[in-house]
């Protein structure tokens, strides 16, 4: 029988699960900080007084919200978060109380939140459908969980199936379908589930260790086998093609014309490249120790990502203009635990991380406003 995931374990595994690469230039920036109380939540607002590397993008402010884990945008002014539910009795692990992480809709203007899904299970991995009608999430165990799809308007929820899904797996392929590889990845099974809970095999493949499954148009991209080969499967022609090896993650641009590809090229060294849809490299965005959270802007013109140095003492967040490869430094204190998420307008960026505070890890959410 599987042991349900305690809050501390969920944080540690989630922080290690996602996402991508980069390291970059130092900015020499200075910040002024203002701490305010907003609806009972302590927020640190950091105003960046330094000039950007290029002038088309300006950092307006960063709102730092403690105690919640921001996951995705429900609208331009509201986000889905997970937070401890202290109304439910805590479980005692290693002599400490652990409350379940539940899902809430957080209003950025008022600081108020309302429950989306509460209960004794730890809930996370929330991801909104492109049209913001449904939310896909997981009820977590030690390294995987059972998937669910909720209709935001009605609250109706369906299970994606009995098969488990690894943390970090599961993406919307359109407004009503979620695509994922079943856990453990050695099964090599890729499933598509609609908003009514009906599932079917998404593709025909003999590959094992399938992971990082994502669809763009008629193409499904995934990594497989021990050499981490990147494979694309055409759902129309039913054919597969290997695009490269040593690939850790791949993220298609919104229009599917380009890919952001993270590769491990040597021990302690990764690269982040932009390729065309066939895997031909167009540019190298980063080469260094580690990158997390890489995300395309809605118009496909920018990549946001956070970086970490080898000793872990330097964690930074950048936005790169893809056409020119110019970088804008955003923060020097944030390492993304999850994929960074752009708001629908592309004017805000959502990120979350964890910090050790006292005797436990605490979630921190960043809402970055750009112009």
13 pLDDT above the threshold of 50: no
Least reliable range by pLDDT among 22-36, 74-88, 344-358:
22-36
CB atoms within 10 A of CB 198: 12
138 CB contacts (<8 Å, ≥6 apart)? 123, 124, 125, 144, 145, 146, 147, 148, 165, 167, 170
Using a pLDDT cut of 90, give the percent of the chain over it. 60
Round the CA-based radius of gyration of the chain to a whole number and report it: 20
Determine whether 29 is exposed, middle or buried from the number of CB atoms within 10 Å of its CB (0-12, 13-18, 19+): middle
Return d(Cα 152, Cα 112) in angstroms, integer: 17
Contact 362, 10 (CB under 8 A): no
CB atoms within 10 A of CB 213: 25
DSSP 3-state of 204? coil
The whole-number average pLDDT for the span 14-28 is 33
Identify whether the C-beta of residue 109 lies closer than 8 Å to the C-beta of residue 77.
yes
Percent pLDDT > 70 in the chain is 84
352-361: b (≥16 Cβ within 10 Å) or e: bbbeeeeeeb
**Is it the case that residue 5 has pLDDT exceeding 80?**
no
pLDDT score of 286: 85
pLDDT on residue 8 = 43
Q: Is the pLDDT of residue 16 over 70?
A: no
3-state SS assignment for residue 84: strand
pLDDT digits (tens, 9 = 90+) for 26-57: 333 333 444 434 443 444 444 444 344 444 68
pLDDT bucket at 187, cuts 50 / 70 / 90: confident
Mean pLDDT of 353-370: 86
Give which of 5, 322, 327 is closest to 138, Cα–Cα: 5
Q: What's residue 51's pLDDT? A: 43
Cis ω for the linkage preceding 184 (within 30 of 0): yes
pLDDT digit string, tens, across residues 284-326: 998 888 888 999 999 999 999 988 877 767 788 989 999 999 9
Question: Residues with Cβ < 8 Å from 116, sequence gap 6 or more?
Answer: 80, 102, 103, 104, 105, 135, 150, 152
Q: Which of 195, 198, 73, 71 lies closest to 132 in space, CA to CA?
A: 73
Residue 247: how many other CB atoms lie within 10 Å: 23
pTM: 0.85
Reported confidence tier of residue 61, pLDDT bands at 50, 70, 90: very high
Does pLDDT of 195 surpass 80?
Answer: yes
């Amino acid at each position: 029988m599987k042991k349900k995931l305690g809050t501390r374990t969920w944080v540690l595994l989630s922080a290690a699960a996602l996402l991508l690469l980069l390291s970059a230039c130092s900015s020499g920036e200075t910040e002024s900080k203002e701490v305010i109380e907003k609806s009972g939540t302590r927020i640190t607002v950091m105003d960046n007084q330094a000039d950007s590397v290029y002038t088309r993008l300006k950092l307006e402010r960063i709102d730092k919200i403690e105690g919640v884990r921001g996951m995705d945008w429900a609208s331009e002014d509201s986000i889905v978060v997970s937070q401890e539910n202290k109304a439910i009795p805590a479980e005692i692990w290693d002599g400490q109380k652990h409350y379940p992480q539940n899902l809430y809709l957080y209003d950025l203007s008022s600081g108020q939140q309302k429950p989306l899904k509460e209960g004794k299970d730890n809930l996370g991995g929330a991801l909104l459908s492109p049209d913001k009608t449904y939310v896909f999430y997981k009820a977590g165990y030690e390294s995987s969980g059972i998937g669910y799809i909720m209709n935001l308007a009605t609250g109706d929820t369906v299970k994606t199936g009995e098969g488990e899904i690894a943390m970090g797996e599961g993406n919307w392929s359109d407004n009503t379908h979620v695509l994922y590889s079943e856990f453990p990845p050695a099964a090599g099974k890729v499933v598509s589930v609609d908003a009514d809970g009906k599932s079917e095999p998404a593709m025909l493949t003999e590959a094992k260790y399938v992971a990082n499954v994502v669809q763009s148009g008629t193409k499904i991209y995934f990594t497989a086998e021990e050499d981490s080969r990147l494979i694309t499967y055409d759902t129309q022609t039913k054919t597969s093609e290997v695009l490269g090896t040593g690939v850790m993650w791949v993220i298609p641009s919104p229009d599917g014309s380009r890919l952001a590809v993270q590769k491990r090229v040597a021990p302690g060294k990764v690269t982040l490249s932009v390729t065309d849809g066939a895997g031909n490299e167009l540019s190298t965005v980063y080469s260094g120790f580690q990158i997390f959270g890489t995300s395309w802007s809605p118009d496909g013109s920018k990549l946001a990502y956070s970086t970490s140095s080898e000793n872990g003492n330097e964690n930074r967040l950048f936005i790169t203009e893809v056409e020119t490869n110019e970088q804008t430094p955003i923060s020097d204190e944030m390492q993304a635990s999850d994929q960074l998420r752009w708001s629908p307008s592309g004017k805000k960026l959502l990120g979350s991380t964890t910090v050790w505070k006292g005797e436990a890890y605490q979630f921190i959410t960043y809402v970055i406003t750009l112009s």
